[in-house]
Each structure stands twice: as C-alpha cells, then as structure tokens.
Amino acid sequence: MSKMISEPESYFRTLIAERDPVLKRLEEEAQNEGIPIIGPVIGALMFVLARFAGARRILEFGTATGYSAIWMARGCRADDARIVTLEKNPAMADRARRNCDLAGVGDRVEIHTGDALTIAKDLAGPFDMIFLDIEKKDYAPALEDCRRLLRPGGLLAADNIAFADADLFNRAILADEAWQAVPLYAFMPGHSPERDGICLAVKSL
C-alpha cells in the first residue's frame, strides 16, 4: 500500500496559498479580536466555487469584517458581479465596507445592516450562490429562503456545520429532496475552528 503523509495537519499548513496584505491583516485582526472568519483555505474554496459556477450574484449571511466577501468577490469574473452580504452589527458592517474598498472590490459588494433572516425575506433572487455563516441555530430557519432565492442548480454553502446548533440544518437539508447536499468534515487550517464541517449543496428542485 502506498504511504500516507505522516503528519498531515503540519503538512497541510505548509500548503496554504499566499494572500495579499488586506486579507493577511484581516486574518491577524480576527486572531487578535476573536472574530470567527473562514480563513485562507475555505476562502480559497469559496473563490474556486464562485469562479467554477461563473457566479454573477452571490448572497452571504454574516459579513463580519468582509473577509469571505472579498474572497468571493474576487472569485467572480464578470464585471457586473454583485455580492450582497448581510450583517447585524453596524460597526462590523462599516469595517467590512472599508475593507472591501481597500481590497478593490467595494464596487461589487453591497452590505445590508440588520437581521439576515428578516432582510432575506424581502430580497429577490435569483442568486447563483448563497453562503450561510451566521448563528448556526438560524441555518435551518434560513433554508426555505435560500431555496426561494437560489437559481435552479445554484450552490448553497453552509459553514461551521460541526457545531451542535447546526444539527437541525444538517438533517433537514439531507432529508429535503429539493437539495443534493454533501456534509464534509475536514481539517481547515486558519479556519475558526480548524476542525469543522462545511455543507455544499445544489438546489435540484
């Protein structure tokens, strides 16, 4: 049998792609202030998914400082691409606005301040991708609006699904024939926390 890498977690820490100074500063601030961000590996995954999907419209629940929005905005190739991102904390939303400007994506990131579940009710689709990253107990209640807002074949990604509060969502999306979902548990260097899960799902109905 071929040999496995003996210390995979140390090894995979050496395989994180370089980031620009804006993303690196946001990673440092997240570390210092305890802000839970997706980090460079899931950031790169969101970039790849946005690029592969040819995404033009992305909806994010949970902006924080704008770190994940910047990755997704850079993943979109279209000049008219828009990331709509929802954040309940006005101070955080202000920081995210400044950070998106500094990252050169301010013109394509639209930040709405308020409760994401409430704002989502008034949004109109279709979106190509939705990223869920708010309180985990709110994932299951958000599912119906995600289904309404995504285009057929659109992608839903939900972060932190190894949190106990995500259990209802994890079971609901697997049982719902509107979705083809895959719950992944992985080591994610730089993610908060580093051993966690992410659900990727396409809207099939």
Ligand X SMILES: C[S@@+](CC[C@H](N)C(=O)[O-])C[C@H]1O[C@@H](n2cnc3c(N)ncnc32)[C@H](O)[C@@H]1O
**Least distance between ligand X and beta carbon 8 (Å):** 24
Q: For ligand X, which is the closer residue by CB, 57 or 191?
A: 191
**Least distance between ligand X and beta carbon 135 (Å):** 4
**Least distance between ligand X and beta carbon 61 (Å):** 7
Q: For ligand X, which is the closer residue by CB, 64 or 173?
A: 64
At residue 203, what is the residue type?
K
Helix ranges restricted to H, 103-138: 116-121
Footprint of ligand X (CB under 6 A): 36-38, 62, 64, 67-68, 86-89, 92, 115-117, 133-135, 138
Q: For ligand X, which is the closer residue by CB, 117 or 123?
A: 117
Q: For ligand X, which is the closer residue by CB, 89 or 204?
A: 89
Residue identified by tokens 């970039």 is 47
Q: For ligand X, which is the closer residue by CB, 36 or 180?
A: 36
- Six-digit token pair at 34? 């305890």
Helix ranges restricted to H, the chain: 8-13, 21-33, 39-53, 67-75, 90-102, 116-121, 139-149, 167-175
How far CA 120 is from CA of 37, 50, 116, 145, in Å, comes to 21, 20, 6, 7
**Least distance between ligand X and beta carbon 11 (Å):** 24
Please answer whether residues 86 and 119 qualify as being in contact, where contact means their C-beta atoms are separated by less than 8 angstroms: yes
Identify the DSSP state of 45: H
Instruction: Compute how many other C-beta atoms are within 10 angstroms of the C-beta atom of residue 153.
Output: 11
**Least distance between ligand X and beta carbon 119 (Å):** 8
